[in-house]
Each structure stands twice: as structure tokens, then as C-alpha cells.
Amino acid sequence: MPSSTSNFDFRRVIPDLPWRRLALTAALLTAVAAVAWEVRARRLGYAPTHNDTSDFWAQERRKVQPDSIVVIGDSRAIFDVDLDALEQSLGKRPVQLALPGTCAYPILADLVADEKFHGTVIASLLPALWLAPEGSPIDESLAALKRFRTQTAAQRASHELALLLEQNLACLKQEDLTLKQLLKRIEIKNRPGALVAPKLPPYFQTTDRDRRMRMAEACAKPGPLQDRVKFGWLELFQPPPPPSWIPKEEFMKAVGLAVEQRFKDTAATVKKLQARGGKVIFVRFPHTGEVKKIEDQATPRAGPWDRIIRESGAPGIYYSDYPELSGFDCPEWSHLSAADSVEFTKRLAPHLQRAMAAGR
Amino acid sequence: MLFNSLTFVVFFVVVVGTYWLLRGWEARKNLLLVASYVFYGAWNPPFALLLFATTALDFYLGSRIAGASTPGTRKAWMWASVASNLSMLGFFKYGNFLLANTQWLLERAGVHYQPPHLDVFLPIGISFYTFHSLSYTLDVYRGVCAPTKSLRDFTLAVSFFPQLVAGPIVRAADFLPQLVSAPALRPGQFGWGLMLMTLGLFQKTVLADTLLSGSADTVFGHGGPLQWLDAWAGVLAFSGQIFFDFAGYSTCAIGAALCLGFHLKDNFRFPYAAVGFSDFWRRWHISLSTFLRDFLYIPLGGNRHGTARSAVNLMLVMFIGGLWHGAAWTFVVWGVIHGVFLVLERLLDWFINKAQINRTRAVQFLVGGGTFVVVCFAWVFFRAADFTTAARLIRAMVGAFPHGDALLGTRELWQVGLVTAGLLFAHSRLRNTSLEAMVATKPRWLVVGVWTVMLCAILLNQDSGNAFIYFQF
């Protein structure tokens, strides 16, 4: 009988090759290729920066204290808000929890669900995203929250290691330089009618340890990159086609009900936080050019913005209401340049201070 | 801790480095035990206690089985082990499923019953380590393995980190003997282990996650009718994804174990080149199929009591095999489809001499192709979230929606097509040999070249920290 005290007779076959030499050669060649790729990335204009992953978001979410100032919303809240400038004015460093391309309502609901939280939430209100009934804007927010709730010690450790590597290597830019992203650059014509999602424009931004994003200089000045980003938005800012298997009227009715519910939920959530001394301040960030035309047409200010402010009772800062906030140009129609974002935040801060002081 | 994570890279380097620096065999085993619990506890520390409790109980029950004076007592202790392991698995994995089905049955009988929802967090890898541990008491009972006197050794056998959370299901009888004396590294063993780890990670991060998972997710996540091309592309993508994901994990586990001087058996042997379903199950998740064969099919009577009884036994085994993968009827249907084809194959064998038929390459090719197609159809139930989605996809695959949605871009179709073609080609070329035999015949420059390409591709996929599909089972 084979026993635990006998010798095990199964041995894996080892191919008869000089494995040590082969391993060292492969490692050396890989190292050479990695260095070459890093040099190439830097020549393309990339610099070391952090990747905005769900682990990064979860790390920042853990920083929220009961009286924190928290920034939530879409990419405008993350590009256009300078945390240093805000800290200087508000006396407290805000926690950056905005997520590009997402609906921030689930994030707000999660913050408010914490009965201890009575801080201030600065929320970018881009109506098309805030009211998104389903799909990627909601899924991404929920995924970030799930990571926050379930993040393991191993995932935290991996994130810390990634931060160390990312601050030294430019080629680790996940949005542009992974195999998946490189494959997406291959231009092959799709079948007529194929429901392929539009490509995200390259952000070409840097991200620091506080998840503060800054637009890269190459994007801030006129040129091919700026054009790629600009015109990339146009397709993305169009609503997706309704599903083919549900009658259009039925679908639009369901969307209408979901949007209606979001209005109600937003108002209820804001009031719940207000009731325990917290505050939500909605901000409409600058946007220009064709993006502004599309947004003004689809979600005019008199529509969702006014209604959310009215029903929630929350203070709202609409950039175009104030001359000092409205003169900024968005190089790619949707976000401010890094330099302008600092100036914009400095000018926004007094409005935020007034909104925070109101009602106290 | 995931193999495809930076934490694991550091963990593995530290553990392997320290392991080979230590002189004493007992100290090395202690190190591996601590490392294995750190590996598991890094996911959720309290569940490491559950892992230890299962292990300690089976250690105790193994000694009681061996020490029992009468066959009845032996059997009673064996059943105690089966009951404790399956109860724990049942509570964590099947609790809500059982309650929901009880509710459904009672409602059919006119009884209103609102079951509580058990807010239970599924311990990662519970299906695997339960079977690791259970194999010990069952093998002691069968007389295949003598009980170990060392709780430390048995705890290490169950928790050995390379195979802990997603297999292969390494039986204690295969692992405990390797703990008796310090293994000596044979020439090339460490390097070949690293090569296997690279191959496993390449399969997981590049082939499964980067090239296939997107198409599979898009197609299986679609809520409406779709064209046959997209349906097939999505199903082929998942067929490839699940193979590369799971075989990738097993390959990593085998490689990591080799680097530490341990030998784990193959878990996959080029399954998509299988000719028939019994051949498929000799090649797919071998450690599970042999577990079910030895501890369920044979004790039920196997094929010793006639064709009808053998068919019932097979169906029962595949039913349970399906359920093992997840608490949903879709998994059961997947298992039952395989069961039905295994039975049909047996019946066909009964009427026709398969050996004669299988002699020609053309027939082998046709039967192999047919097997792959049916396996793909069965994967639809495995992957689909519900029967509605599965039915819609099956209908789409047979062309029921000529005006359905076209979901995938040309690039994605090419990706799926090329990877599937490469996968089938590789499996058909290697079906009668082994990876080791094939690699041994290749020139060194080619081995280095392929190894380098795999390493570079893994580095280019530094965002692919996705969990392995089989972690959820």
C-alpha cells in the first residue's frame, strides 16, 4: 500500500535542455526589450505617472473621515480641481473620489449610507452621466465600490508595489500602452451595423498620488493629439442606440422612469446628509466648443441642473453664472489645462466656502 | 493572492529564496506551511481558520479510521468525514441555492415559504481544498494511503500554496510521501518550473484575459438576439478563455511546485483534441474527473453492474460534477449534457466496435470535431447567467436570428478566430505526446525566443489583475 511514509514514485519529466542558460538568456532579452519599450514610450511623450485603478480609488476611499471634504463626479472633477489650491482655501485636503466617465450617484449614496459621515461632498454634475440609468457609467462606479468593500491585503500590497513602479516607469501607462490598448489601435473596418462602442480618446494625462489628474502639455496645445481627443468626445457624447429587442417607446419609457427615480433618489440622499449636518455642493465645470453644443442641446441648464438643485435644496455653482469662472477655455472642449485648473480652483474656492458656510 | 499579481512575484521570490537557503527539511516544511497560510490569509484571514479547522478534523478522522477495530466503525468515521466536509461546502456554497429550490418546491405544493437569505461570503477555493482534505480520509479508508502522524505535514499537504485555491486537486496520498524527505532538485528542474510558470501566466493574462475575455463578456452579456457569427465567436472565445484560464492556473501551480522540488500531476492534456467524451474527460480537469471516478463512480458500482446501471452512475457523477462547479441549475445542465454524451458513447461502443471505427484519421477528425462542437454548446450553459440567455445563444448559434445584432468588431472576430485556430492546431498536434517531449525536440533558440515573447507579452499586460475563473468554484 502506498503510504505517507513511503517514497512517491511520480516524477515529472524535465526536458533535456540547459534550462539555467535558457532562463538567463530569456531574462536578459526580456530586460533589453523592456528597456527599449521604456525608451520608446518616453520618446512618444509619456512620462512616469500612476494608473487610475479600482485599487487606487479604494485606497483613497479609505481616507474618508466623518468630516472630510470629498470630491466626486466625472472626469471634470478630477482634471479641473486642484487639491493643493483647495486645501489652501478650505483648510483641509479634500479626498478625490471622482471617476472619469461615471455616474457619481452610487458613490454619493455610499458616502451618505455611512451614518458617521457628516462632511462636505463637492459633486461634479454632468447631467448625462449623473442621470445615466444603466450601463458603463453605473457599472464602473459600482465596481469601484465593490473593490473598496472587498479589497484584500494582497490587492493592497500589489497596489503599493504598482505605485512604486509607476513613479519610475513611463511604459506602465495602462490606458494607452498595454497589449489590449495597443491592439485596439489596429484600424480594421467593421461590418455595417456592428454595435461596437466608440473608442475612448487618449486622455494623455498624468495622475499623482492623490488621484489628481493633469492634462498633458501635448494635449493642451493645438496639434494632432488635441484633435484626436476633441473629436473622440463627439461620438462618446452621443447617447447609445436603444436596444434592438425592446420597442423604442417601451425602452424610452423605462429610461424615463429610471431618470425620474434618480432625481428623487438624489434629492432624498442629499437631504439625508443635510439632516445630519453634512453638505452636498453641486458644481458644473467649464466645457466649450462642440461638446458644449451637444450638452446644451441634450441637457439644457433649465432641465436637469435646475431641477436637481431645486429638489435637493443643495447649493449649486454653475460656472457660467460667474464671470470669474466662465472665461476659461477647454483645450479639448471638455477639461481645463493643468495650469488653468489651478487658477480655476482658486476662483472656485470662495464660492465653495460660501456654500459651505451657508445655513450654518 | 493571485499568481498574476505583483504581490505574488515578491512573495514567490522571498519564499523560494528562503526555502532553498534553509538547510533543514523540517524548517523548510515549516516555512512552506506559514507561506501557504499567508498566501491564503492575504485574501481573507478569518477563512484561514476555517481551512485549518477542516484540515485538523480530517487529520483526526483519518487516524480514527485507521485505528478502528471493526469495518462498521471504520465506515462510520469515514462517513463522518464525508458529512463534515460536504456540510461545510453545502453551507457556504449551496445554502441559498437549497433554500431557493425548497421555496420553489413548496410553492408548487401550495405552501408559502419565505426563506431567509444567508449573507454568506464564499471562502475562496473551498471546493478545491475540501476535496484535497477529503481525499485523505477516503484514501485512508480505502487502504490506499496510511495515515500520517504529523498534523503539520497533513496541514501542508492540504494548504500547499501552488495548488490551494484552484487546483489541481492534489490528493494527500500523492503529496504526503513527498514530505518524507527533502527533495533534491534535478538538473533543469528549477528552470523548467519557471518556464511552466511563464507559460501558465501567458495563457491566463494574454490569451484568456486580453485576447478572449472581452468578446465572451460582450456576447454573454447581451440581452437581445444576435447574429450567428457573433454567437459562435462569443462561445468560442469562452471555450478558449476557460481553458487558458484554468489550464494556465494549473500550469503555474505545477511550475511553482517544481521550483520547490515537488511534483504535481498534469491537470489538462490537450482536451480540445479529444476524440469522444470519455477521451475529453481523460484530458480536462483530470484531477477532478479521477477524484469523481475513484470516490463516486466506482463506489456506486462503476460499470460492473450492466449498461443501464453504468449509465445511471455516469449521469449521477456528471450531475454532481456540474453542481460542484456552482450552485446553479445551468451548471447542472452542463454536467448532464456531458453525462448524456458519455452514456451515448458507451451505448455506441456496445453496438459498434469503436476500435475499428477509430482507426481512420478521417473518422477521428470528424468525431474530434463533433466532440469539440458539442463541448462548445455545453459551455453556453456553463457561462450563461440564466437559461434565457443560454437558450437565446443556442438559437443564435443555429442561425435563428438572421437580423440579430452584430456585436463584435472585425478585430475582435480576428482575435477569437486566430486564437481558436491556434489552440485547436496545438492540441491536435500534441494530443498523442506531451509538452515536455515536444519542447525537448525544439532548437534552443526557438525555446528562448518563445519564452522571451511570452515574458514580454506578460509585461505588456500589467493591468490584467483579473481573478481566475475557477476561484469562484
Q: What are the domain boundaries of chain A?
A: 60-154+203-357
Cell numbers placing B155 = 496541514
Instruction: Tell me what the mean pLDDT of segment B164-193 comes to.
Output: 89
- Catalogue the active-site residues of B: 325
Q: Measured between CA atoms, how close is A23 to chain B, in angstroms?
A: 6
Q: Tell whether the model's pLDDT for residue B113 goes beyond 90.
A: no
B42 to A246: CB separation less than 8 angstroms, yes or no: no
Mean pLDDT of the B68-74 span: 91
d(CA B175, CA B153): 9
Q: pLDDT-derived band of residue B358, with 50, 70 and 90 as boundaries?
A: low
**Does residue B466 surpass a pLDDT of 70?**
no
pLDDT at B140 over 60: yes
pTM of the shown model:
0.90
Write out pLDDT tens, residues B227-244.
999 999 999 999 999 999
Look at B437 and A186 and tell me if their CB atoms are within 8 Å.
no
Q: Which residues on B lie below 8 Å from A31 (Cβ)? A: none
On the question of pLDDT at B464 being above 60, the answer is no
Q: Which residues of A touch B407 (CB under 8 A)?
A: 194-196
Residue B286 and residue B279: Cα distance in Å, rounded? 11
CB contact under 8 A, A8 and B258: no
pLDDT of residue A235: 81
Could you read off the pLDDT of B239-259 as tens digits, one per residue? 999 999 999 999 999 999 999
pLDDT in tens, B295-314: 999 999 888 888 888 899 99
| A239-278 residues touching B, CB cutoff 8 A | 243-246
Whats the size of chain A, residue-wise? 360
Please report, for chain B, the start and end positions of each structural domain, with discontinuous segments joined by +: 6-104+122-179, 189-275+358-472
- Using the beta-carbon criterion (under 8 Å), do B153 and A8 form an inter-chain contact? no
The Cα A35–Cα A45 span in angstroms is 16
The pLDDT score that the predictor gives to residue B90 is: 87
Name the residue among B42, B448, B465 with its Cβ closest to that of A153.
Answer: B42
Q: If you classify domain A60-154+203-357 with CATH, what class do you get?
A: alpha beta
The CA–CA distances, whole Å, from A298 to A129, A213, A239, A319, A322 equal 12, 27, 9, 18, 23
Q: What is the pLDDT of residue B157?
A: 94
| Residue A154 with chain B: CB contacts under 8 Å | 1-2, 5, 7-8, 42-43
Task: Determine the longest span between alpha carbons in chain A, in angstroms.
Answer: 89
Q: Mutate which of A3, A4, A246 to disrupt the B interface (most B C-beta within 10 Å)?
A: A4
Task: Say which of A1, A22, A189 has its CB closest to residue B410.
Answer: A189
Per DSSP, helices labelled H in chain A are 19-43, 54-61, 75-79, 83-90, 105-113, 127-130, 136-150, 153-166, 174-177, 179-184, 217-220, 224-236, 248-275, 289-298, 304-312, 323-326, 338-357
Range in A204-218, B41-55, B217-231, B352-366 with the lowest mean pLDDT: B352-366
Confidence of residue B355 (pLDDT cuts 50, 70, 90): low
Tens digits of residue pLDDT in B10-23:
999 999 999 999 98
Residues of A in contact with B165 (CB under 8 A): none
Judged by CB atoms closer than 8 Å, whether chains meet at A161 and B6 is answered as yes
Single out the residue of B272, B283, B274, B198 nearest to residue B420, CA to CA.
B272
Measure CB to CB from residue B191 to each of A23, A53, A183 and give the nearest one: A23
Nearest Cα to Cα of residue A345 among A12, A82, A20, A8: A82
Assembly ipTM: 0.86
* Chain B residues with CB-CB distance to A178 below 8 A: 210, 460-464
The answer to whether A33 faces chain B, any CB pair under 8 Å, is: yes
Phi/psi for B207 (5° steps) reads -75, -50
* Residues on chain A touching B196 (C-beta within 8 angstroms): none
Q: Is the pLDDT of residue B29 over 50?
A: yes
- B/e letters for A52-75, b = 16+ CB within 10 Å, e = fewer, are bbbbbbbbbbeebeeebbbbbbbb
What is the pLDDT, as a whole number, of residue A134? 85
For residue B363, pLDDT over 90 is answered with no
Q: Any CB–CB contact under 8 A between A32 and chain B? A: no
Q: Which residues from B are below 8 Å from A11, CB to CB? A: 186, 263
Chain B CB within 8 Å of residue A168 CB: no
CB atoms A7 and B181 under 8 Å: yes
Residue A153 contacts B, CB cutoff 8 Å: yes
**Residue B468, pLDDT above cutoff 70:** no
B148-173: per-residue pLDDT in tens? Answer: 999 999 999 999 999 887 778 999 88
Query: Looking at residue B306, what is its pLDDT?
Result: 83
Interface test with B, best of A6, A7, A9, A12 (most B CBs within 10 A): A12
Q: For residue A359, what pLDDT is reported?
A: 59
Q: What is the mean pLDDT of each run of 10 residues along chain A (360 residues)?
A: 52 93 96 96 90 94 96 95 94 95 95 95 95 90 94 90 91 88 88 81 84 91 88 82 86 91 96 94 95 90 93 94 93 94 96 84
Minimal CA separation from B86 to chain A, in Å: 25
Q: B436 and A12: CB-CB below 8 Å?
A: yes
Smallest Cα distance from A96 to chain B, Å: 22
| B chain contacts of residue A188, beta-carbon cutoff 8 Å | 409-411, 414
**Do B440 and A14 touch, CB atoms closer than 8 A?**
no
Question: Region B104-131: what's the mean pLDDT?
Answer: 83
Buried b (16+ CB within 10 A) or exposed e, B15-27: bbeebeeeeeeee
Residue B472 confidence (pLDDT): 60
Give me the residue from B43, B437, B451 closest to A154, CB to CB: B43
CA distance A221 to A340: 13
Task: Give the one of B43, B448, B461 whose C-beta lies nearest to A26's C-beta.
Answer: B448
Residue B375's pLDDT band (boundaries 50, 70, 90)?
Answer: very high
pLDDT at A11: 87
Tell me: pLDDT of B469 over 70.
Answer: no
Closest approach of B394 to chain A, Cα-based (Å):
17
Torsion of CA A319, A321, A325, A327, to 10 degrees: 100
The answer on pLDDT for B414 being more than 60 is yes
Q: Is A197 on the interface with B (CB under 8 A)?
A: no
pLDDT at B186: 86
Q: Do A244 and B452 touch (CB under 8 A)?
A: no
User: Which of A51-60, A84-93, B102-111, B317-326 has the least mean pLDDT?
Assistant: B102-111
Q: What's the pLDDT at B65?
A: 94
> Using CB atoms, which residue from B43, B437, B465 is nearest to A158?
B465
- Structure-block grid coordinates of residue A83: 487639491
